[in-house]
């Protein structure tokens, strides 16, 4: 289906989603505003929530020329769990599109992902798969063709699922620690292990890094990132008392929604 045909058909549907962007740094303001501008006239978007996750500074000015409502929410600390708590408590739609502040993308791809997410509302629907090998106990950044993690920093997630997830207080306390950058793995395996849902990834989605993505201090710059995430995986498996992981599923066709 062509982009124009897709959009014409989509306008007949009344379902909408919430966009959630979390940021802590003023250097990312340009890209946050870019995301707002991309969605500013999109009828599929009910609201754009910008989570300013840095109570030490006042939030910068974000784009306000959007026809889609934009709401800025400030949290008093930098806990990474804040994004899931805000999504669970503040979203007015059944699905939220969570996007990191260092990613660039095309809206047409997001709408295609939304079609899939509507068919699978109880899991993560993203595009970036990762893999934890239960034999070698190693985390891999390659998630093709097999994956058991979908990065939720660019994904649709059901709000009801998030409302359950944020009650896993011990789990949230662990990944809010300074040395535990693994809320994404925690959410995935909560869905996969505890909820027994299959993780979904959509191929062919174009994703890039924003110019500000190389900012010092980002996890991507961590010299021991693979080992850190492998340790996270071990801790989370012990938390769920599981040594079995379901493979995710690639969904390349888009369900027809009446």
CATH code: domain of residue 177? 3.90.550.10
* In a domain? residue 216: yes
Q: What's the confidence (pLDDT) of residue 92?
A: 94
* In a domain? residue 252: no
Asked whether 110 and 185 are in contact (CB, 8 A), the reply is no
DSSP per residue over 97-150, as a string?
Answer: EEEETTEEE-HHHHHHHHHHHHH-TTSEEES-EEEEETTTTEEES--SS--SEE
If one counts the domains in the chain, the total is 1
* In a domain? residue 43: yes
* In a domain? residue 3: no
**213-238 tens-digit pLDDT:** 444 344 444 447 888 889 999 999 99
Domain that holds residue 76: 15-247
Q: What's the confidence (pLDDT) of residue 257?
A: 46
CA distance 193 to 73: 31
* In a domain? residue 156: yes
* In a domain? residue 4: no
Taking the CB of residue 9, how many other CB atoms lie within 10 A of it?
Answer: 13
* In a domain? residue 256: no
Going by pLDDT thresholds of 50, 70 and 90, the confidence category of residue 210 is low
Q: What's the confidence (pLDDT) of residue 5?
A: 53
**94-152 tens-digit pLDDT:** 999 999 998 989 999 999 999 999 999 999 999 999 999 999 999 988 777 899 999 99
* In a domain? residue 163: yes
């Amino acid at each position: 289906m062509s982009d124009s045909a897709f959009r014409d058909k989509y306008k007949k549907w009344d379902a909408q989603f919430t966009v959630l962007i979390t940021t802590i740094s003023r250097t990312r303001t340009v890209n946050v505003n870019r995301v707002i501008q991309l969605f500013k006239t999109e009828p599929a978007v009910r609201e754009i929530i910008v989570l300013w996750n840095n109570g030490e500074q006042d939030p910068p000015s974000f784009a306000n020329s959007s026809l889609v409502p934009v709401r800025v929410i400030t949290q008093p600390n930098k806990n990474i769990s804040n994004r899931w708590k805000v999504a669970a408590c503040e979203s007015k739609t059944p699905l939220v599109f969570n996007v990191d502040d260092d990613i660039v993308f095309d809206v047409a791809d997001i709408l295609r992902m939304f079609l899939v997410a509507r068919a699978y509302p109880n899991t993560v629907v993203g595009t970036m798969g990762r893999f934890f090998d239960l034999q070698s106990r190693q985390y891999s950044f390659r998630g093709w063709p097999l994956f058991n993690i979908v990065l939720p920093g660019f994904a649709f997630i059901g709000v009801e699922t998030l409302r359950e997830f944020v009650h896993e207080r011990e789990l949230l306390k662990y990944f809010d620690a300074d040395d535990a950058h693994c809320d994404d793995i925690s959410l995935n395996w909560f869905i996969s292990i505890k909820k027994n849902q299959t993780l979904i990834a959509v191929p062919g989605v174009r994703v890039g890094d924003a110019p500000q993505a190389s900012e010092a201090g980002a996890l991507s710059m961590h010299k021991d990132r693979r080992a850190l995430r492998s340790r996270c995986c071990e801790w989370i498996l012990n938390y769920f008392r599981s040594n079995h992981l379901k493979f995710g599923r690639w969904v390349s066709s888009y369900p027809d929604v009446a």
